[in-house]
Homo-oligomer: A and B are copies of this chain.
């Protein structure tokens, strides 16, 4: 969204995500957030109902994006290896678009209250879809036969940590990063 059309509420959520990434949800106070916005804490409540609402807006929006895109990848006719390439591209895209939000998703989801169960469901579904792609690749012979659980863990934790690393390297072309990651994660590093 264009910054000129960004609402005050959206601005609060964006600034909050940045602070949450640096110190974590619990360690950021409404006064910290207000100071970063250049207003007083009480003024925040004219736009949002609670600190908890901010966290929900950040986390659930991204989780829904992952869910939606995974369903699209899953229903395509690509080979398993190509589905994995697409998943890698998805994580690179969302991590570069919103590295602050990705940090919240990864580190602060457990501080969700009402939406905690909903988030857990989305996350488990995503992992199940990922695992199914690996299992199918093993069955068709595209992928080596090691425990899909360990393979998924290895790949997914790398992708989930991209937010730590992408903002430091914004000079790198994102397509190149996706390609290099695909090479490392899928082909390995052994010569």
Which residues in A have some Cβ–Cβ distance to B below 8 Å?
22-27, 81, 107, 110-111, 141-144, 146-147, 149-151, 153-155, 157-158, 160-161, 164-165, 169, 177, 180-181, 183-191
Contact = CB atoms under 8 A, between A and B. Distances in A.
A187 B180 CA distance: 15
A150 B184 contact: yes
Copies of this chain, count: 2
A153 B141 contact: no
A109 to B, nearest CB: 11
Most chain B CB within a 10 A radius of its CB, from A151, A180, A189: A189
B191 A188 contact: no
Contacts of A147: 180
B184 A22 contact: no
Most chain B CB within a 10 A radius of its CB, from A142, A154, A181, A188: A154
